[in-house]
């Protein structure tokens, strides 16, 4: 795989760091998660393809172990801590929390991964490493560059929820169907908008102009009334195969079984967590091959990892005796 031979130490944490480590592991890096002693287990749910080393970093001997490992590793992920919500939400309502996808995973974990890959590439030329300072706030702001750059175009002059791309336009929002499902509409371009109107059984000459913002609230109500008269499956039958940019809002289960996703192999099945998205992007020569094994127990690979990094059995025994490290081997159920 693309990152074969790259070694990573990930200090256990939540969300951004573990996600970054999982991405690196999916694409071939050997990732060791450094867990706290006494941890009940991994709470990040992002341990795929990793091994676990349990060490007490609060004690000098434990910190010395980590420094010794760092000297022979390529990447160290240290997650300890030293938005764009104003644009998300419907008119007259509080801003919506975008789950934790924006800051934790987009602006945090993924931007950190990008920084690591750029630093590894630069190292091939200079031979030098560097510190990647990945701030979730700054990463999220960078993701929102389009919002900042497009302000001069007048795209965000209206209050939140009343603009072109934030749910204000009747042709760029979601609608509830007769069976409680939802359809997503993104018919921004005129040629797509015409197909939307046709599929809804409406007539263009009986409607206000597409970009008449003052008429948008009334048009949204009219579209909502129409969508509410058919089920999600019926609307899919009407719009499938067209360029109207009208698609169903799929549940996780529906997405995993969708014909398009099955044909591309967009989802994989893990031993412990069941179905999850396949690593992206898909590389033609060195695609990711995510581990299908269960997540490691905390400290499951402690001795194995330390031996790989040159620790003698005498040293390992002493660290165990001093309660600096912890080993937890899986036990067979007889």
Q: Which residues on adjacent β-strands are paired with residue 175? A: 183
Query: Which of 220, 249, 278 is where one domain is finished?
Result: 249
Q: What is the pTM of this model?
A: 0.82
Question: Are 17 and 115 members of one domain?
Answer: yes
From CA 183, how far away is CA 169, in angstroms rounded?
A: 15
Is the omega angle on the peptide bond into residue 281 within 30 degrees of 0, that is, cis?
Answer: yes
Nearest-5° angle of CA 178, CA 181, CA 185?
Answer: 100
228 and 177 Cβ atoms separated by less than 8 Å: yes
- The CATH number given to whatever domain includes residue 128 is 3.40.50.10540
Query: Which of 249, 271, 306 is where one domain is finished?
Result: 249
111 and 169 Cβ atoms separated by less than 8 Å: no
Q: Which residues on adjacent β-strands are paired with residue 31? A: 8, 50
Q: Please list the active-site residues.
A: 104
Question: Are 126 and 210 members of one domain?
Answer: no
Alpha carbon dihedral 222, 224, 229, 234, in 10-degree steps, equals 120
Structural domain of 193: 172-249
Question: Are 135 and 210 members of one domain?
Answer: no
Question: Are 55 and 122 members of one domain?
Answer: yes
**What's the domain count of the chain?**
2
From CA 176, how far away is CA 183, in angstroms rounded?
A: 7
From the centroid of its chain, how far is CA 109? 8
- The CATH number given to whatever domain includes residue 227 is 3.30.1540.10
Question: Are 13 and 120 members of one domain?
Answer: yes
Query: Which of 188, 215, 249 is where one domain is finished?
Result: 249
23 domain residue, yes or no: yes
Predicted confidence pLDDT, tens digits, the chain (334 residues): 899 999 999 999 888 889 999 999 999 999 999 999 988 777 788 899 999 999 999 999 999 999 999 999 999 998 865 477 778 888 888 887 788 888 888 999 999 999 999 999 999 999 999 999 999 999 999 999 888 888 888 888 899 999 999 999 999 999 999 999 999 999 999 999 999 999 999 999 999 999 999 999 999 999 999 999 999 999 999 999 999 999 999 999 999 999 999 999 999 988 777 899 999 999 999 999 998 888 899 999 999 999 999 999 999 999 999 999 999 887 755 5
Nearest-5° angle of CA 182, CA 187, CA 193?
Answer: 120
According to the model, what pLDDT value does residue 82 have? 44
Question: Are 129 and 191 members of one domain?
Answer: no
Question: Are 43 and 119 members of one domain?
Answer: yes
According to the model, what pLDDT value does residue 333 have? 58
């Amino acid at each position: 795989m693309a990152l074969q031979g790259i070694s990573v130490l990930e200090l256990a944490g939540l969300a951004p760091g573990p996600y970054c480590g999982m991405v690196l592991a999916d694409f071939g890096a050997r990732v060791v998660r450094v867990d706290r002693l006494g941890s009940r287990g991994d709470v990040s749910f992002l341990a795929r393809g990793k091994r676990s080393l349990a060490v007490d970093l609060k004690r000098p001997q434990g910190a010395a172990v980590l420094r010794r490992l760092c000297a022979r590793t390529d990447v160290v992920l240290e997650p300890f801590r030293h938005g764009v919500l104003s644009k998300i939400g419907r008119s007259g309502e509080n801003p919506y929390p975008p789950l934790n996808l924006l800051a934790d995973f987009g602006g945090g974990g993924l931007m950190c991964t990008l920084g690591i890959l750029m630093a590894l590439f630069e190292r091939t030329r200079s031979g030098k490493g560097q510190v990647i300072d990945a701030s979730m706030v700054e990463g999220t702001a960078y993701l929102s560059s389009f919002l900042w750059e497009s302000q001069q175009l007048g795209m965000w002059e209206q209050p939140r929820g009343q603009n072109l791309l934030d749910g204000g336009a009747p042709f760029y929002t979601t609608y509830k169907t007769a069976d409680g499902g939802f359809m997503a509409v993104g018919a921004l371009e005129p040629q797509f908008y015409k197909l939307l109107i046709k599929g809804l059984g409406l007539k263009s000459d009986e409607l206000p102009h597409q970009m008449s913002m003052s008429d948008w609230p009334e048009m949204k109500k009219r579209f909502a009334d129409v969508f509410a008269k058919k089920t999600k499956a019926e609307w899919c039958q009407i719009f499938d195969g067209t360029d109207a940019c009208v698609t169903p809002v799929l549940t996780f289960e529906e997405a995993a079984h969708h014909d398009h996703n099955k044909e591309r192999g967009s989802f994989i099945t893990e031993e412990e967590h069941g179905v999850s998205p396949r690593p992206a992007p898909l590389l033609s020569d060195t695609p990711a091959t995510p581990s299908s094994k269960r997540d490691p127990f905390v400290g499951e690979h402690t001795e194995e990892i330390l031996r790989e990094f040159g620790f003698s059995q005498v040293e390992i025994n002493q660290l165990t005796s001093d309660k600096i490290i912890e080993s937890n081997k899986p036990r067979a159920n007889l």
